[in-house]
Chains A and B, each alone.
Chain A
C-alpha cells in the first residue's frame, strides 16, 4: 500500500513521530545533561538538555566516594553468570523437551508449563528462600531462583521444532550421543533464538531490583544503590565537597550520575539484538 505521491497526512505523521521521539528521549538526555553539569548550577533549574557548566566531578565523586564500585561489580557478575547459565540450561532443557521420542517428554513439559499459570506467590517463595534454603544475602539467590524462565524455554523449543530433523538423524547415524547432538548440531543452529533469550536474561538480571530488596540487602546491586540514593530524601539539601576540589556535589547530581551508569549498558546492548527479539516476541505470542 505504498502511495507514489506523499500527502499532507504523511508529513503530519512525521511531525507526530518526531514528537514521540522527543518525549521518549528527553528524559534520558535530560539526565545525561544533569550528570555532566555542575551540581550547584543544576539547582537553579533542572530542565535542560545540554550541560550549562560542563564537569565530570559528579562521576568522579560517584566512583571514588559514592560507593558504587562494589554494586557495579555485583551487578555485572550476576548479569554475566546469570545470563550464561540461563542460556545454557534453557537450551539444554528445551532440546530434551523438543525430542518427541523422549519418554518423559510429555510429563516434563507439563511440569514446566503449569508453573506459567500458577505460582506460590511472594510470601511462600520468600519463606522458601530465606527460611528453608537459607539463601539470604548469598550470591546464589541472584542465580538459582530465576535460573530458567519457562517462557524462554518455550521460545527455544519452538525454534528447535522448526529445524530440519534430518540433521539430528545424520549425526545419530554417525554415532553421536544425545548430548553431542545437542551441543554440536542443535546449539550452533540456534544462535538467533539464543541471542534473544540472552538479551532477556541479561536485561532481567541487570534490571532486577526486587531480589535485592527482598533477599540480599547486603549484596547491593547498582539498581538497589540507585533506589537507596532516591529514598534518602532528607539528604536533598546537603552538599558534599569533593576532596581536593571546591566543587560541590548534590544528591541530585549523584542520582543522575548513577542513573546514567545503570542505563548505559542497556542502551549499548539492545539495538544489536533487536532483529532477533522482534521475531521472538511474535513467536511467543502465537504459541500462547
Chain B
C-alpha cells in the first residue's frame, strides 16, 4: 500500500472510510489548521456583507440576515466624506512615488553591487543592507525623528530649518518614500541579484570580445537580463498600489502633516473602528480590494500588450 501511495502521483483512488482511516495521522496533523484558517481568514471574508448594511456597535449583535440592507449607501458615504478625496490623492501619490523610486533604487543598488569585485566587502555591504529591513517601523520612526525633525541631521547639514516632517504639503510623501527606500533597498535587491546570477556569463564574455565597456555591459546585458523580474514585481506592486499600510504612515506622521499622510487603510480604521461605523469601514476595505484586483489585471494586460511576460 505504501509504495502504491507515494509512487503513483496521479492516483485516482476512491475516497473511502478505509482510506481516511489509513491517513488518520495526516488528518490529525492538518485538520486543526484548516479549522483555524476558516475561523481567522474565511469568517472575516463573510464580514464583507457588512459593507452593504448599516452596522454600528448597537446593531452588531443582530444576525446578518435580520439586518437591513442599505445597498451602496456605505460606499456613497465614504466617497462623499470630507477627507476622502485627499486620502485617495495621498494613497496614489505615495504609491506611485514608492513604486517608481523604490524600484529604481533597488535596481541601481543590485546592479552596482553585482559589479563589485571585492568579495569580502561585497558580503559585508549586503549583510549591512538587510539590517533596516528587519527593524520595525516604530524603531525606524524613532531613528527618522533624529534625522528629519527640526534640528536634526538634515537641518544641521544645510544650516537652515527645512521643516521636513512638519510642512503640511506632499513633501512628507517624499520623506516617507525616501525612508522606505532606505529601509528596503538591500532586501529588495536580493531578488534582482539572484536574477542576475542566472544571466549566462557567455554573454559578458562575448561583449568583452566586442570591446564593450562596463557600462555598456550593464545596460545591454544585465538590465535586459533582469527585465522579466522587474516586470513581474512591477505588476505585483501596481496591484498593491492602494494597499499602502497604515502602520508606516501613522508612525511617520504627526498632527502637523496628517492631512497628507492619511491613506485609505488608515481612513478605514478611523471611520470603522475609531468612530465605530463598522459598515462604512468595511466598505472602504472592500473598495480597496476591488480597485486592487482591477489594477492588477490592467497592469497584467498592459504588460502583455507591450510584449512582456504576463504574471497571470
Q: Which residues of A contact B (CB under 8 A)?
A: 1-3, 6-7, 9-10, 13-14, 16-17, 20-21, 23-28, 30-31, 34, 45-47, 89, 92-93, 95-97, 99-104, 108, 111-112, 115, 118-128, 131-132, 144-145, 147-148, 165, 168-169, 172-173, 177-179, 182, 203, 206-210, 214, 223-224, 226-227, 230, 233, 255-256, 259, 262-263, 266-267, 270-271, 274, 278, 281-282, 285
Contacts and interface: CB of A to CB of B under 8 A. Distances in A.
B56 to A, nearest CB: 12
A21 B128 contact: yes
Interface stretch (B75-83, B94-102, B145-153, B299-307): B145-153
B23 to A, nearest CB: 6
A263 B28 contact: no
Interface stretch (B43-51, B65-73, B85-93): B43-51
B146 A30 contact: yes
A274 B251 contact: no
A10 B28 CA distance: 58
A222 to B, nearest CB: 9
Contacts of B131: 24-25, 28, 266-267, 270
Given A259-B143, A281-B190, 14 more contacts: A1-B217, A10-B115, A25-B131, A31-B142, A31-B143, A111-B38, A115-B41, A119-B44, A120-B285, A128-B40, A147-B33, A179-B25, A270-B130, A282-B194
B6 A24 contact: no
A17 B125 contact: yes
B182 interface: yes
Contacts of B42: 115
B281 to A, nearest CB: 4
Contacts of B135: 207, 263, 266
Contact of A262 (B9, B45, B136): B136
Interface in B26-70: 26-30, 33-34, 36-48, 50, 60
A262 to B, nearest CB: 6
B193 to A, nearest CB: 9
A123 B20 contact: no
Contacts of A145: 40
Does more than half of chain A's interface fall in helix, strand or loop, or is it mixed?
helix
22 contacts: A1-B217, A6-B117, A10-B115, A16-B112, A21-B128, A27-B146, A30-B153, A101-B5, A104-B30, A122-B281, A123-B281, A124-B282, A125-B40, A144-B36, A172-B6, A178-B29, A207-B138, A208-B136, A230-B142, A262-B139, A270-B134, A278-B194
Contacts of B43: 120, 124, 128, 132
B48 A103 contact: no
B6 A168 contact: yes
A153 B27 CA distance: 17
Interface string B277-290: 01001100110110
Contact of A27 (B9, B143, B282): B143
Contacts of B173: none
B307 to A, nearest CB: 22
Contacts of B205: 1
Interface residues of B, number: 96
A85 to B, nearest CB: 11
Contact of A121 (B44, B204, B214): B44
B297 interface: no
Interface in B250-272: 251, 254, 265, 268-269, 272
A23 B25 CA distance: 53
B113 interface: yes
Nearest to A166: B6
A197 to B, nearest CB: 14
Contact of A46 (B115, B132, B152, B269): B152
A131 B29 contact: no
Interface string B192-222: 0010000001001100100000100100000
A282 B128 contact: no
Q: Which of B125, B139, B268, B272 has the most CB of A within 10 A?
A: B139
A223 B136 contact: yes
A168 B121 CA distance: 43
Given A104-B27, A230-B142, A173 B2 contact: yes
Contacts of B194: 278, 282, 285
Query: What are the 4 A-B residue pairs with the smallest beta carbon separation, nearest first?
Result: A120-B44, A124-B47, A121-B285, A207-B136
Given A124-B47, A210-B247, A281-B191, A179 B29 contact: yes
